[in-house]
Chains A and B, each alone.
Chain A
Amino acid sequence: DTAVSQTPKYLVTQMGNDKSIKCEQNLGHDTMYWYKQDSKKFLKIMFSYNNKELIINETVPNRFSPKSPDKAHLNLHINSLELGDSAVYFCASSRTGGSWTEAFFGQGTRLTVV
């Protein structure tokens, strides 16, 4: 029973398209995240979101937007895809506040823009 699941696992699309990556967690956590692992293998935070607040990494282009229909889901929408968006995107979740000591990650979505 997967704790954090993402779909699709692989996504190949053309430049200029709009795409979404879905994420669901069944851990009852209140906070979810999106991370990007680029070609240099750095895992960088893009967004953190709970039911009260969205915190955006200032380096993330506004073509990227998280959408949360409920606290178990945080989908990532990307508009006007560019070649540089090719990366592996990881969704994660944790409890809210300072009490958590681990975040749980999904298996990743490898996005390739051609």
Chain B
Amino acid sequence: DQQVKQNSPSLSVQEGRISILNCDYTNSMFDYFLWYKKYPAEGPTFLISISSIKDKNEDGRFTVFLNKSAKHLSLHIVPSQPGDSAVYFCAARADSGAGSYQLTFGKGTKLSVIP
């Protein structure tokens, strides 16, 4: 039962263009959504997050959009750079009980930015 889904396993984008990574979720109890970037043989690195009460959060080249009614979020990277090539994980946070919060991850999307 995948509560967080990233339906595109891979995405290729030309350098300088926009990269759009998508994520869908099913659990209405998620209160925060996060994007992580992961290079091979390294741990996930936090990129950007958004509260469930917001619809947009922007940080430099990275913008996350949340459509709560559609249970859908997306990460926009503009302009894309070769160094952005990595696996991007969508994650959602929920209270697992007694005020302890845990992340549920999607399967990841491998982004390749072509020079």
A: residues with CB less than 8 A from B are: 4, 31, 33, 35, 40-45, 48, 50, 53, 55, 90, 92, 94, 96-98, 100-108
10 contacting pairs across A/B (C-beta < 8 A): A33-B102, A42-B105, A44-B105, A53-B100, A55-B98, A55-B100, A97-B101, A103-B34, A106-B43, A108-B42
Q: Is the interface of B mostly helix, strand, loop or mixed?
A: strand
Q: Which residues of the other chain, B, contact A53 by a CB distance below 8 angstroms?
A: 98, 100
State the CA gap A104–B46 with chains docked (Å).
Answer: 7
State the CA gap A42–B5 with chains docked (Å).
Answer: 10
Nearest neighbor of A10 in chain B, beta-carbon distance: B41
The answer to whether A55 touches B105, judged by C-beta atoms less than 8 angstroms apart, is no
Q: Which of A31, A101, A104, A105 contacts B49 (CB 8 A)?
A: A101
How many chain B residues touch A (CB < 8 A): the figure is: 28
The answer to whether A31 touches B41, judged by C-beta atoms less than 8 angstroms apart, is no
